[in-house]
Amino acid sequence: MTIKEAQQIIDQWINTTGVRYFSELTNMAILTEEVGELARIMARTYGDQSFKQEEDPGQLSDEMADVLFVLFCIANQTGVDLTEALKANLEKKTSRDALRHKKNPKLRG
């Protein structure tokens, strides 16, 4: 599925199963919450923290999908075409950082 298709599928889901979009501000708060849930799994799986005995470790892929779902909702609500936005962002990064990372001694083996 393409990014554009995902935006369309999520819009259809929201307008049928979800009834309607939450407000943009509510979705921003939900996005922050979902990123926090992703961060919790990352910190405990790859970082120095450990899962509490009674804590459900959750699924990394599911939390990433939750982040994308809400981000797509916000994009739909605000009229952002994420395909075009990502293309433009990659072009910006490519021109801005053409030599930056190659010159970074911290990134060399």
The string of DSSP codes covering 45-64 is HTSS----TT-----HHHHH
* Percent residues over pLDDT 70 in the chain: 99
Question: Pick from 76, 105, 78, 91: which is nearest to 10 by CA?
Answer: 76
What's the length of the chain?
A: 109
Mean per-residue pLDDT, 50-63: 89
Please calculate the CA angle 9-14-15 and round it to the nearest 5 degrees: 100
* Positive or negative: CA dihedral 32, 38, 44, 46: negative
Residue 86: pLDDT band (50, 70, 90) is: very high
Q: What is the pTM of this model?
A: 0.88
Query: What is the pLDDT confidence band of residue 27, given thresholds at 50, 70 and 90?
Result: very high
Residue 103: the pLDDT is 87
64: confidence class by pLDDT, cuts 50, 70, 90: very high
Q: Domain ranges for the chain, please list them.
A: 3-83
3-83: CATH architecture: Orthogonal Bundle (1.10)
